């Protein structure tokens, strides 16, 4: 048996291309002491992985050329050298884009396949949902009645951020690309409105949709969408700066025109990374699971089949071609 | 007796010119019930006043064309219709750029001329110092040992912000324009270093001066200086966004290249205006007065003579031609 992997073949310049990756068969890994061998079943594709392909300094090391791409999977323990985990246990962890991985048991979290379908543990009950929860409840701190804007509203993080804001009694305006996504955001996710950033006049439309001003902006994209929302911030607004996906594939950052709004409106901007907030995960997952079981948290996955399709699915996700959480099915269960 | 005033003659486009103002003799004002008549002795010139000359929405209304320019003075009560104040009392308040003003007594604060020379109540013991105190201690929240960068370091707010940071045990790097100002910042104000932003390679020099990264940036200027500091922020840095003076006289905001640092370093940016924090003033002034009397707070004023010189002094201050707190002596005392 061989271990199929996706590796970084070279650093992309601008938009990622399929030949920036290589798909190879590697020897099966062997678990060391306190490690387990995992069969990876579902791979999570997330925008932050694009940043890790660059050489620029970031909060985490870059993926080296030739290394396995960084990413989280849900899988099944097939061999254990740790008392913490037994064969058959389901786990989630940072295995990278591959079909098998040997990892220390302490770096994995157990997931309950009875609680929700496995890929949900990578989305609506996984890292993206905890990111949304931390950003909204601990960075932005909403009050009922406030107006919340969420960009990339149909994505894995944005879809949950907006739903949490609704559950907290806020009025929620999504921003997404295209009529299909916008309809999903309103009809399935229950946002109060959704604006298509691909149509002209976004700043004007944000102002119309938020006549009291925007109290909270949960930003996943940066760039011109951020600029449009800056123009309509309410006094004392908060921006949870979660991602800047529009800026990950360019060497020339978008020149924001409306930063002055941060001073004029006495705004708080808080950049954050969910992995800085590990102590909040149990509380976040407990609350998310409660909503999930009560039917208060809609979710959708875009599924690609087989690890060889991961590069193409990743490129499509970055281009905004997919709705919901992008996952790759690695093996039949 | 007539009341000499400086009024806004027209809205400036780009850099302010002297003929954007008109200096006129108006009738003496008469105090109404609960008001006092003040002879204004010293006028405070501050960068925020430039913003109020524009028509753009801001945290406070614009000055209308034909109106007296907005600004604070220290003066003496010469007639009182309020039980709060008596003739001879010294007060500070938002009288505007004029030699006499009638105002409600409740809008004025009493100042003690025995505590410090009168113009100090417009600077090192006035609004700019309270701004520095609120921004540093309540927005940025320094810890001893951290590296703090302050822009416009020789100015009324920056000079105090840096000195407070030193008193709190931080290492403080100023940024100012020209060798004279930089020498003043280090030799007289006691900063650990000062960088001249007019010389090339500011970003590299900030990085060299802050080998552990910048933990706190107290920003008065925005634009390219902000961009240079963004490149060297430490993880979990805080930016107290106090002013953006480099951007007040332009219609084309500077295109920042390094905003990505806010996300990568999980930075908190907090825009603030001192007038939102009136309950903190007594505590701030008490602490500032204590330092002042202990000789721990250096200050310098640039003095212009006579109200007719206010427009020219204001233009020079915005151009960065002056060191310290810019005041105008309105009358002999």
Q: Supply the pLDDT for residue A331.
A: 83
What is the pLDDT confidence band of residue B248, given thresholds at 50, 70 and 90? confident
Q: Are B101 and B40 contacting, i.e. CB atoms less than 8 angstroms apart?
A: yes
By C-alpha distance, which of A224, A270, A268 is closest to A247?
A224
The interface predicted TM-score of the complex, written ipTM, equals 0.91
Token pair listed for B36: 């006092």
A320, β-bridge pairs: none
Tokens 């801001």 sit on residue: B58
Cβ neighbours around B186 below 10 Å, total: 18
Contact with chain A for residue B9, Cβ under 8 A? no
B267, closest residue in chain A (CA to CA):
A271
Pick from A253, A257, A262: CB nearest B241: A262
Residues of B in contact with A244 (CB under 8 A): 259-260, 263
Contact with chain A for residue B222, Cβ under 8 A? yes
**Residue from B259, B261, B272 whose CB has the most chain A CBs within 10 Å, to mutate:** B259
Per-residue model confidence as pLDDT tens digits over A110-157? 999 999 999 999 999 999 999 999 999 999 999 999 999 999 999 999
Q: Of A57-61, A296-300, B142-146, B267-271, which range is least confident? A: A57-61
Token pair listed for A241: 């700066």
* C-alpha–C-alpha distance, residues A147 and B84, integer Å: 43
Q: Is the dihedral of CA B58, B60, B66, B71 positive or negative?
A: negative
Cβ contact (<8 Å) for A262 and B255? no
Question: What is the percentage of chain A residues whose pLDDT exceeds 90?
Answer: 91
Mean pLDDT over residues A278-302, rounded?
95
Cβ contact (<8 Å) for B260 and A266? no
Residue B250: pLDDT over 90:
no
Task: Write the burial class of residue B23 (CB in 10 Å: 0-12 exposed, 13-18 middle, 19+ buried).
Answer: middle
Residue B315: pLDDT over 80:
yes
| Residue contacts between A and B (CB atoms, under 8 Å) | 86
A256, closest residue in chain B (CA to CA):
B255
Pick from A257, A264, A271: CB nearest B265: A271
Q: Is the dihedral of CA A152, A155, A157, A158 positive or negative?
A: positive
* C-alpha–C-alpha distance, residues B170 and B192, integer Å: 9
Cβ neighbours around B170 below 10 Å, total: 22
Contact with chain A for residue B244, Cβ under 8 A? yes
A237 min Cα distance to partner chain B (Å): 10
Q: Supply the pLDDT for residue B332.
A: 62
Token pair listed for A35: 């490690």
Query: What does A144-189 look like in DSSP terms, one character per residue?
Result: TT-EEEEESTTBHHHHHHHHHHHHTT-EEEEEESSHHHHHHHHHTT
Cβ contact (<8 Å) for B269 and A267? yes
Pick from B244, B260, B264: CB nearest A263: B244
Q: Are B31 and B80 contacting, i.e. CB atoms less than 8 angstroms apart?
A: yes
Q: Are strands A100-104 and A35-44 parallel, antiparallel or unpaired?
A: antiparallel
Cβ contact (<8 Å) for A263 and B241? yes
Q: CA dist B92 to A144, B77, B190, Å?
A: 40, 10, 29
Contact with chain B for residue A61, Cβ under 8 A? no
Pick from B222, B262, B272: CB nearest A269: B262
A217 min Cα distance to partner chain B (Å): 14
Find the angle CA(A134)-CA(A135)-CA(A141) to the nearest 5 degrees: 95
B59 min Cα distance to partner chain A (Å): 5
What's chain B's average pLDDT?
95
Structure-model confidence comparison of residues A34 and B56, the more confident one = A34
What's the alpha-carbon Rg for chain A, to the nearest Å?
20
Per-residue model confidence as pLDDT tens digits over A45-58? 999 999 999 987 77
By C-alpha distance, which of A69, A74, A94 is closest to A18?
A69
B287 min Cα distance to partner chain A (Å): 24
Please state the three-class secondary structure of chain B as a single string: CEEEEEEECCCCCCCCCHHHEEEEEEECCCCCCCEEEEEEEEEECCCHHHHCCCCCCCCCCCCCCCCECCCCEEEEEEEECCCCCCCCCEEEECCCCECEEEEEHHHCEECCCCCCCHHHHHCCCCHHHHHHHHHHHHHHCCCCCCEEEEECCCEHHHHHHHHHHHHCCCEEEEEECCHHHHHHHHHCCCCCEEEECCCCCHHHHHHHHCCCCEEEEEECCCHHHHHHHHCCEEEEEEEEECCCHHHCCCCCCCCCCCCHHHHHCCCEEEECCHHHHHHHHHHHHHHHHHHHHCCCCCCCEEEEECHHHHHHHHHHHHCCCCCEEEEEECCCC
H or E stretch at A283: helix A281-293
Tokens 């609506």 sit on residue: A124
b/e string for B247-273 if b means 16 or more Cβ within 10 A? Answer: bbbeeebbebbbbbbbbbbbbbbbbbb
Q: Are strands A147-151 and A214-219 parallel, antiparallel or unpaired?
A: parallel
* C-alpha–C-alpha distance, residues A93 and A112, integer Å: 14
* C-alpha–C-alpha distance, residues B179 and B160, integer Å: 19
Q: What 3-state DSSP class applies to A208?
A: helix
Q: What 3-state DSSP class applies to A57?
A: coil
Q: Are A95 and A76 contacting, i.e. CB atoms less than 8 angstroms apart?
A: no
Mean pLDDT over residues B213-218, rounded?
98
Per-residue model confidence as pLDDT tens digits over B115-146? 999 999 999 999 999 999 999 999 999 999 99
Contact with chain A for residue B255, Cβ under 8 A? yes
Q: Are B30 and B22 contacting, i.e. CB atoms less than 8 angstroms apart?
A: no
Q: CA dist B84 to A312, B94, B95, B112, Å?
A: 75, 17, 18, 15
Residues of B in contact with A271 (CB under 8 A): 262-268
A13 min Cα distance to partner chain B (Å): 17
Q: Supply the pLDDT for residue B60.
A: 79
A76 min Cα distance to partner chain B (Å): 32
Interface of B with A in 259-298 (CB under 8 A): 259-260, 262-273, 276
Contact with chain A for residue B145, Cβ under 8 A? no
Q: Of A231-240, A249-258, B270-279, which range is least confident? A: A249-258
Token pair listed for A88: 């058959």
**Residue from A259, A265, A272, A274 whose CB has the most chain B CBs within 10 Å, to mutate:** A259
Q: CA dist B156 to A29, B23, B148, B184, B316, Å?
A: 63, 26, 17, 13, 14
Structure-model confidence comparison of residues B246 and A81, the more confident one = A81
* C-alpha–C-alpha distance, residues A254 and A252, integer Å: 6
Cβ contact (<8 Å) for B259 and A57? no
Please report the domains of chain A, with CATH numbers, ordered by start residue. Answer: 2-120+300-329 (3.90.180.10), 127-275 (3.40.50.720)
Contact with chain B for residue A234, Cβ under 8 A? no
Backbone region of residue A201 per phi and psi (left: phi > 0; alpha: psi in -120 to 50; beta: other values): left
Q: What 3-state DSSP class applies to A16?
A: coil
Q: Supply the pLDDT for residue A332.
A: 62
């Amino acid at each position: 048996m061989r271990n199929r992997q996706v590796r970084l073949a070279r650093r992309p310049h601008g938009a990622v291309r399929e030949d920036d990756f290589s798909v190879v068969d590697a020897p099966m890994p062997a678990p060391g002491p306190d490690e387990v061998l995992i069969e990876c079943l579902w791979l999570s594709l997330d925008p932050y992985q694009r940043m890790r392909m660059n050489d620029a300094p970031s909060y985490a090391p870059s993926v080296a050329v030739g290394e396995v791409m960084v990413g989280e999977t849900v899988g099944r323990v097939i061999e254990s050298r740790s008392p913490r985990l037994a064969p058959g246990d389901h786990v989630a962890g940072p295995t990278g884009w591959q079909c098998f991985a040997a990892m220390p048991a302490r770096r994995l979290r157990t997931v309950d396949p009875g609680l929700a379908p496995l890929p949900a543990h990578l989305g609506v009950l996984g890292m993206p949902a905890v990111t949304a929860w931390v950003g909204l409840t601990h960075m932005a701190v909403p009050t009922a009645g406030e107006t919340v804007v969420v960009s990339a509203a149909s994505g894995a993080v944005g879809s949950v951020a907006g739903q949490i804001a609704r559950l907290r009694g806020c009025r929620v305006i999504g921003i997404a690309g295209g009529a299909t996504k916008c309809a999903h955001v309103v009809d399935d996710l229950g946002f109060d409105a959704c604006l298509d950033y691909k149509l002209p006049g976004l700043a004007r439309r944000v102002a119309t949709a938020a006549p009291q001003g925007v109290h909270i902006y949960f930003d996943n994209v940066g760039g011109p969408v951020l600029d449009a929302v800056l123009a309509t911030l309410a006094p004392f607004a908060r921006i949870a700066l979660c991602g800047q996906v529009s800026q990950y594939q360019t060497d020339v950052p978008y020149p924001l025109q409306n930063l002055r709004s941060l001073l004029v409106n006495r705004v708080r901007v808080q950049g954050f990374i969910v992995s800085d907030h590990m102590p909040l995960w149990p509380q976040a997952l407990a609350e998310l699971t409660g909503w999930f079981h009560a039917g208060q948290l809609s979710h959708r996955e875009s599924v690609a089949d087989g690890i060889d399709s991961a590069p193409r699915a990743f490129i499509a996700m970055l281009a905004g071609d997919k709705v919901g959480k992008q996952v790759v099915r690695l093996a039949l269960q």
